[in-house]
Structure 1
Amino acid sequence: MKTLPLAARINSWTFARVGVRVACFAALWCGHAVALDAAELLVGAARTTITPDEPVALSGQFHTRVAKTVESPCTANVLVLESRDGDKSLETAVMVSCDLVVIREDVQSRIRSAVAAKAPEVETQKLFVNATHTHTAPVMVEGKYVLPADGVVQPAEYVEFLVGQVSDAVVEAWNGRQPAGVSWGLGQAVVARNRRAVYADGSAKMYGRTDKPEFRGIEGFEDHDVDVLTFWDADKKPLAMAVDVACPSQEVEGRTAVNADFWHPTRDLLRKRYGQQLEVVGWCGAAGDQSPHLMYNRAAEARMLTLRGLTRLEEIARRLDAAVAEANSAARNDIRTDVPMKHLVRTLKLPIWRVTEEQNAAAQAEVDRLSKDPADRRKMNWHKTVTDRYKQQQEGDLYERQFHVVRLGDIAICTNPFELYTDYGVQIKARSKAVQTFVIQLVGEESGTYLPTVRAVGGGGYSAIPQSCPVGPEGGQALVDQTVEAINSLWDE
């Protein structure tokens, strides 16, 4: 399959300059005088389908599902940034957002290698891939589910297709980069709901019932900010934008059809508002304890959907479209063409969540019980992560993963590989020296495990137990500290 044609190509242009070209940029914020070299910004964008033509197994549940239909196509959306001083390239960032549940195994490394072979001039270490966390996208790992041998795209075949499609789109975006202006803005939309119910005995449960007498409240915070990064042409027409929402796209997670979830109708509405040329990169903020599912007020919300004549996906898209419009209506008054840009690539070094003898024994009992039925393979492997870690933790206690920090003008963009609980994202935003901080979860190799808070571990339940989490609250705090240090170093220079 070929890269989808763009509705319109980015036209070459040059912003009008007043007086001499600005060579440097200065800002005063929170008492810190900051001066970094600014440079001309080049932007490229592309999108491609990552939906195969044949039936494919879906990832995101404990049971096997094979999709024979496509309700909305899963796509990869690429944004390429380069800062230049004349003919000299100063910095780059290549950001790929995929409608997938996570980025499995070595997918990011394979995309980097494929891009390097097709466009050697691209600095592939500055390329990162995130998932929007739709639970109705193809499986990428062999052996995770029991699948038919015939008539279904196998995971290894899908990954080969995915790598080819994404690497082609990256090269297209790189070759099409053009001068652009950039703005950043902040809107709000109620999309995320904390999904952990707390009960009178102190226990917590993901999607637990809230209509029981024992229900006492929702466990944690919700972040309703919508961070918007928009790239404009000389006529103030948006060419591309990145939209960061602290909510995974899993409203229709239980279906047996390929579906990009709420990002598909959201992109449609944004293109209807701004033009079909627009490329939309979806980022999922820190949202390990969040989802779009309603925990209470279901009847009232359903009534409002009926009155509006909308589906739940369309309602979420309506809210995000309004939030982006709100942000851009103000931010378009502050479009920058000369901005400082710096991209750090570092390694998170986090203490693992050590498995106790009791936890290992309990997990081994579940492995033994579930191994008797092939249909339980997914659940068995989930418990087996605990027994494997118990054996391996004697060899070392560090969990190491790559992360990225990008400074672009007054904003910071930071990544992590987890389903990161929202409290950690709030800490990063609060302690960052950037005017606005974009937190992106589910980035890079072997992403997708939860990282819970102390409060969540106290309540227990799925997403806050060793089966769900190779790293616990101690590692969560280390992640915050290391990320904040990296961000703030770009303001301290």
Structure 2
Amino acid sequence: MIRCFFLTASLVLCLAASPLSAGELAIGAATVSITPNEPVALSGQLHTRVAREVESEVTATALALESRGEGESGDQAILIACDLVAVRDGIIAKTREKLRDRLPGFDVSKLIVNATHTHTGPVTREGRYEIPEGVMTVAEYVDFLTDRLADVAVQAWESRQPGSVGWGLGHAVIAQNRRSLYANGTAQMYGRTNAATFRGIEGPEDHGVEVLFFWNGDDELIATAVNVACPSQEVEGRSNVNADFWHEVRETLRKKHGEQLHVLGWTGVSGDQSPHLMYRKAAEERMRRLRGLTRLEELARRIVRAWEDAYEGARQEMHADAVLIHKVIEIELPLRPITEDDVAEVKAKIESLSGNAKNAVRIGWHREVLHRYAAQQAGTAEPYRMELHAIRLGDIAIATNDFELFTQFGIQMKSRSRALQTFLIQLAGPGTYIPTAVAAAGGGYSAIVESNVVGAEGGQVLTDRTVELINSLWED
């Protein structure tokens, strides 16, 4: 069942060769379930899990924007947030193709789809997992998914009425940097912090909660986009469909602000962060139990409190005259070089895992490095090509990337951006980690060559190009 509402706001349209002029922005929002009605394999672990029960629905929520002035259409965007681990290759292209005829007035290149990174959502990548009989195939689910994404985009796009937009900032401790450093210079994801050799946490954390709010012509809150620098993977090891903490956030906000409220979950730059506790665990868990909350409810409580702080500020400045500009470019990122030492280590790992059918997914993960190395040696390896979106909405900017990008890069982008507030949406593509140079030197999952198609050099190129594109939105 699709929940749908719509609004429009007066905004200002900025054209590349023209001065800013007054206009109107049409805005629509809709939500649809992307939960299948049959058993489905789950993505996010290095072994096959089949979900036969649904703990909480996975959903897709769309926000549609189009500026209008003097009877003519200006810029536009449709942003869809999905409860998936990543937006795998082909999903956006298939959705755009399904939209092309249904929305002839919409430029499908300006469709953005992002994942919240729940590890308890359906598999959307062929060949990674062995799908048992009686379980929905990957192709079947992808067809179902892209039908639903097209439907929710159409619902949002076709339903727009006047309104206003606002932005705010709150803070919540949701994520912790998950890479432990040790005395010998190595690092490990979720490594023991009570070990005698533990020396600290590798990187920074970002506790900002960036929020957009949309009101209709009667000043009723209709939609909100919540940007949290943390993947939603608190219950990642379960074997049932679960939207993780975003489900609790959505339910809590709707209970207070009405069932008509559409909530987009935007995962910020946070490849080295997660909601899992790294230290002070006993004290944290004691306080949670005293509050009588599950861990998901505790995380939602913190996000909603930060959201409320942002709302108190934003509703004092409800803008009906913001600027809307949406730029899309393709950029090329250098691949992480694979060394002979990398190859030797990967071969040793494959050998140690061979002989046990349960290791098939893990072995395939390692073997991908050997395929990449062969292309590198043959000179046929091509740079990673990524579609980069940057949107200006009034004083704020929104920018996307495909990856699980380490937090340090996001801090750079936000600090160098000309926007008052910068919303960064990662996993608007197929994913893979991009570590910093420090992390790559420390090794460990998320910073080893198996985890990285693009390395630290490419991460800096991505950062620089993103900042350039954002800042160009403020040029005359």
**Which category describes the TM-score, using the shorter chain as reference length?**
over 0.9
Residues 43-85 of structure 1: CA distance to partner in whole angstroms, max 9, x if unpaired?
Answer: 1000111110111111100111111110000000100011110
> 1 CA distance for matches of 2:304 and 2:294?
15
Task: Tell whether the 8 Å contact from 2:161 to 2:217 is kept in structure 1 after alignment.
Answer: no
Q: Is the 8 A contact 1:146 1:374 kept in 2?
A: no
Tell me if structure 1 keeps the 8 A contact 2:12–2:324. no
Whole-Å Cα distance in 2 between the matches of residues 341 and 367 of structure 1? 51
Counterpart of 1:4, as a letter, is I
Of 186, 209, 231, 2:192 maps to 209
Tell me which residue corresponds to 1:227.
210
1:141 to 125, 150, 162: 125
Structure-1 residue corresponding to 2:94: 110
Q: Percent identity?
A: 52
Partner of 2:409: 424
Query: What RMSD over aligned residues (CA atoms) do the two structures have, in Å?
Result: 1.8
Matched with 2:226 is 243
Shift in Å, 1:39: 2.3
Is 1:284 aligned with 2:267?
A: yes
Which residue of structure 2 aligns with residue 399 of structure 1? 384
Give 3-state SS (helix, strand or coil) of 1:358's partner: helix
1:180 aligned residue: 163
Give 1:365 shift.
3.9
Task: State which of 321, 334, 337 in structure 1 corresponds to 2:317.
Answer: 334
> 2:200, 2:105 → 1: CA distance?
53
* Residues 1:211 and 1:178: Cα distance change in structure 2 (over 3 Å): same
Match of 1:196 among 159, 163, 179: 179
**Aligned: 1:157 with 2:140:** yes
Give 1:78's aligned residue.
62
Q: Secondary structure at the match of 1:360?
A: helix
Judge conservation of contact 1:57–1:138 (CA < 8 Å) in 2: yes
Q: Secondary structure at the match of 1:340?
A: strand
Deviation at 1:370, TM superposition (A): 4.0
The 3-state SS of whatever aligns with 1:241 is strand
Q: Secondary structure at the match of 2:439?
A: helix
Compute the displacement of 1:40 (Å).
1.1
Aligned residue in 2 for 1:29:
none
C-alpha distance in 2 between matches for 1:23 and 1:302: 48
- Give the Å deviation of 1:371: 5.2
Indicate the SS of the match to 1:118.
coil
**Residue number in structure 2 paired with 1:410:** 395
Q: 1:431 to 1:157 in 2, by over 3 A?
A: same
Name the residue aligned to 1:470: 453
Quote the Cα distance in structure 2 between the aligned partners of 1:292 and 1:39.
42
Trace 1:283-322 onto structure 2 (pairs within 5 A). Answer: 283-322=266-305
* C-alpha distance in 2 between matches for 1:265 and 1:204: 33
Residues 137 and 260, structure 1, Cα contact 8 Å, conserved in 2: yes
User: What SS does the corresponding residue of 2:366 show, helix, strand or coil?
Assistant: helix
Cα deviation, residue 274, structure 1: 1.5
Give me the whole-angstrom Cα distance separating, in 1, the residues matched to 2:425 and 2:397.
Answer: 11
Tell me, yes or no, if the aligned pair for 2:435 and 2:446 is still in contact at 8 Å: yes
Q: 1:173 to 1:113 in 2, by over 3 A?
A: same
CA contact (8 A) 1:146 1:375 kept: no
Distance 2:474 2:106 in 1: 26
Aligned pair partner of 2:2 in 1, 4, 11: 4
Contact 2:115 2:427 in 1 (8 A): yes
* 2:95/2:150 contact within 8 Å kept: yes
Q: Which amino acid aligns with 1:240?
A: A
Instruction: Provide the secondary structure at the position in 2 that maps to 1:137.
Output: coil
1:472, 1:23 → 2: CA distance?
Answer: 39
Displacement over 6 Å in runs of 4+: 12-15, 22-25
Q: CA deviation at 1:397?
A: 5.1
Provide the rounded CA distance (Å) in 1 between the counterparts of 2:397 and 2:371.
37
One-letter amino acid of the structure 1 residue matched with residue 56 of structure 2: S
Residue type of the partner of 1:105?
A: D
Residue 373 (structure 1) shift: 3.7
How many residue pairs were aligned?
471
- Deviation of the 1:455 alpha carbon: 1.1
Q: What is the aligned partner in structure 1 of residue 372 from structure 2?
A: 389
| Paired amino acid for 2:29 | A
Is 1:450–2:448 an aligned residue pair? Answer: no
TM-score normalised to structure 1 length: 0.92
Deviation for aligned residue 1:368: 5.0
- C-alpha separation between the residues in 2 aligned to 1:365 and 1:279? 49
State yes or no: 1:97 paired with 2:85: no
- Secondary structure of 1:146 counterpart: coil
- Superposed, which structure 2 residues align to 1:37-52 within 5 Å? 37-52=21-36
Give distance in 2, aligned partners of 1:98 and 1:284: 10
Q: Is the 8 A contact 2:9 2:165 kept in 1?
A: no
Partner of 2:421: 436
CA separation in 2, counterparts of 1:13 and 1:108? 26
- Per-residue deviation, 1:96: 0.6
The answer as to whether partners of 2:8 and 2:25 remain within 8 angstroms in 1 is no
Closer, same or farther: CA 412–38 of 1 in aligned 2, 3 Å:
farther
Q: Distance in 1 between matches of 2:125 and 2:319?
A: 43
Report Cα offsets for 1:261-290 as digits up to 9, x if no partner.
Answer: 000000011112211110001000001000
SS at match of 1:239: strand
In structure 2, give the amino acid aligned to 1:258.
Answer: V
Shift, 1:360, TM fit: 1.8
Q: Name the aligned partner's letter for residue 412 of structure 1.
A: A
C-alpha distance in 1, partners of 2:176/2:347? 34
